[in-house]
Amino acid sequence: MRSRGTAACLVITLIFAYTTVVNIIERPEGIKIAAWFIVAIIVSSLVSRVLRSTELRLEGVEYDDAARKFVDSAAEGLSLRIIANRPNTGQPQEYARKLEEAHRTHHLPADDPILFLEVRPGDASEFSGVLSVTGVNVGGFHVLRTSSPAIPNAIAGLLLDLRDRTGRIPHAYFGWTEGNPVAYLLKFLAFGEGDTAPVCREVLRQAEPAPEKRPRIHVG
């Protein structure tokens, strides 16, 4: 009896599927309308994502005690200099190599204090919030660490907050990203990370209309 009931359900399902396919072929207007509706949703979502991609996205910045001390110490130099670092091993050798590269590429003054900044990808579904910054001493190198769903936007917001907090214009140093720029653009729209420096600069340009008050972005 159970096998007969199963066979009957299968026959009914096949008849329903056949009828549905025949109706679609004879009257394809419904499928066309549904397809256009789906395309409209995808396009509008993509446009909204692009338009919001250069918004600041931050409601505030919070520093732990170590991060505040690092910032106060760095602000005593001639300029507030920050090296953006993509997190890797987290060992002192990584920061020593990055600092040497920055000195060689950007001709940084040898006696100016340097802060490293690392932003890890956060939940991409979150659009805004408070940026929590922690300070870590790695072999004598002062590192500011945080996470955000949109890395360039977080860096821009942090630079503006540092400017307001210290009264100095921050100088942020980046390396050029190797690879296809279109691929990095799509990666940023999808996951909030990509070619960080140009997007960060554009976020700053929109957030601060006065060039003389805008944090400086250096790429090399």
CATH number of 58-219: 3.40.50
Q: What is the Cα–Cα distance from 146 to 34, expressed in whole angstroms? A: 43
* Percent of the chain scoring above 70 in pLDDT: 67
pLDDT at position 78: 77
**Range of weakest confidence among 6-10, 58-62, 170-174, 215-219:** 6-10
Quickly state the pLDDT bin for 191 (edges 50, 70, 90): very low
Task: State pLDDT tens for residues 32-42.
Answer: 676 666 766 66
Secondary structure of residue 208 in the 3-state scheme: coil
pLDDT at position 52: 58
pLDDT at position 159: 96
Report the 10 Å Cβ neighbour count for 149.
19
Torsion angles phi and psi, residue 64, rounded to 5 = -80, 180
Task: State pLDDT tens for residues 49-58.
Answer: 555 566 777 7
Whether the model pTM is above 0.75: no
**Range of weakest confidence among 54-58, 122-126, 140-144:** 122-126
pLDDT at position 63: 96
CA dihedral 31, 35, 41, 44 (to 10 degrees): -140
Enter the tokens of residue 199. 């997007």
* Average pLDDT value for residue range 157-165: 95
**Range of weakest confidence among 12-26, 62-76, 130-144:** 12-26
Question: Going by C-beta distance under 8 Å and a sequence separation of 6 or more, which residues neighbour residue 136?
Answer: 66, 143, 145
pLDDT at position 110: 78
No. of helices (H) and no. of strands (E), the chain = 7, 7
Radius of gyration of the chain (CA): 26
Quickly state the pLDDT bin for 85 (edges 50, 70, 90): very high
